[in-house]
Amino acid sequence: MKRLLFAAGALVLATVPAFANPVTIKSCNREVTFDAAPKRAVSNDVNLTEMMLALKLQDRMVGYTGVSGWKTLDERLREGVKELPELAEKYPTKEVLLNADADFYFAGWNYGMKVGGEVTPETLAPFGIKVYELTESCIHIMAKGKPTMEDMFVDLLNLGRIFGVEERAEALVAGYRGELAEITAKVKGAERRPTRVFVYDSGEEKPFTSGRYGIPTAMIEAAGGINIMDDVEKNWTEISWEPVIDRNPEVVVIVNYGEVTADEKIAFMKNNPAFKNVDAVKNDRFVVLEYVEATPGPRNIKAIRRLARSFHAEAM
């Protein structure tokens, strides 16, 4: 089925490259081979969708999933996907992807897929839907090293190969790497005494946070800090407040999304006597990152710059 696009008042046929030779991509613990670029792709979640948009792949997409049911769809993303339908507010079912006649699904473990769930690379393969998995999420199904920003860069480069836009992806990543190198060079001296940082995603009785394998750990370290939950062998998980208080973060990074606002999360910590001796609370050192900045995607690098300014203002 061919995809028709509306442009300049007329319907035009999207052109997609057929590869001279098959392209094989490493996705977590699998190898996925493409004979041609996908024509009817679906991405899940706001950050993965923004990766597609950063590579200007809207004309290869039939829709996206998992945005409005979880996060606010901001104007920047809304403009990029205005002609694409949201096929499911949260995780899509297999039927949703089949009804869209999708041939490619860009998702991750706990980013649109669950281990043992209905939608996985294995369950979609019989229907000709190929899956590329977000690298950060591979920790759910295989042993993986601690994340670095290269994980996000690899995803962009792999998408570039999958869709036949390698030069576009390489140029984008080269710009990100250059900006990141500039930031890390400025905070290099500060790494001798990294700033202690806690990532507060959500939850009052027990906080949901990012552990050793979440991309915020890589972002915090690039900015001259250390995630105080670096010893928690998860990417995102629920913990108790006791170790947060004991480890006394100097900065709290608030992840802003959902019904509870960043201001409300900050107020909760400021007004709770349990946190009165926490340095970040005493000194009012909070940094707000939007969900799309705190998960792997194109907004990570500018977010790292903001973190570095908060952690080491004298260096930036």
Query: Under a CB-based contact definition with an 8 Å cutoff, are residues 228 and 247 in contact?
Result: yes
Give residue 192's pLDDT.
Answer: 65
CA distance 132 to 27: 6
Query: Under a CB-based contact definition with an 8 Å cutoff, are residues 300 and 54 in contact?
Result: no
Q: Report which of 186, 149, 108 is spatially closest to residue 298, judged by C-alpha positions.
A: 149
Q: Quote the distance between the C-alpha of residue 16 and its chain's center.
A: 26
Could you count the other beta carbons within 10 Å of the beta carbon of residue 78?
11
pTM: 0.89
Question: Going from the N-terminus, what domains does the chain have, and what CATH number goes with each?
Answer: 4-173 (3.40.50.1980), 191-311 (3.40.50.1980)
Dig out the tokens for 12 from the structure.
Answer: 């035009």
What are the strands, taking DSSP E only, across 28-186?
Answer: 30-36, 41-44, 61-65, 86-88, 104-109, 112-113, 130-133
Residue 21 has pLDDT above 90, yes or no: no
CA distance 10 to 8: 6
Q: At residue 215, what is the residue type?
A: I
CA distance 65 to 122: 19
The lowest-confidence range among 14-23, 55-64, 206-215 is 14-23
Residue 17's SS3 state is coil
The pLDDT confidence band at residue 314, using thresholds 50, 70 and 90, is confident
- How much is the mean pLDDT over the chain? 91
Give residue 162's pLDDT.
Answer: 98
The torsion angle over the Cα atoms of residues 277, 258, 218 and 177, rounded to 10 degrees, is: -130
Give percent of the chain with pLDDT exceeding 90.
Answer: 82
pLDDT in tens, 31-85: 999 999 999 999 999 999 999 999 999 999 999 999 887 665 566 666 777 789 9
Residue 206 has pLDDT above 80, yes or no: yes
Task: Render 192-206 in DSSP notation, one character per residue.
Answer: GSPEEEEEE-B-SSS
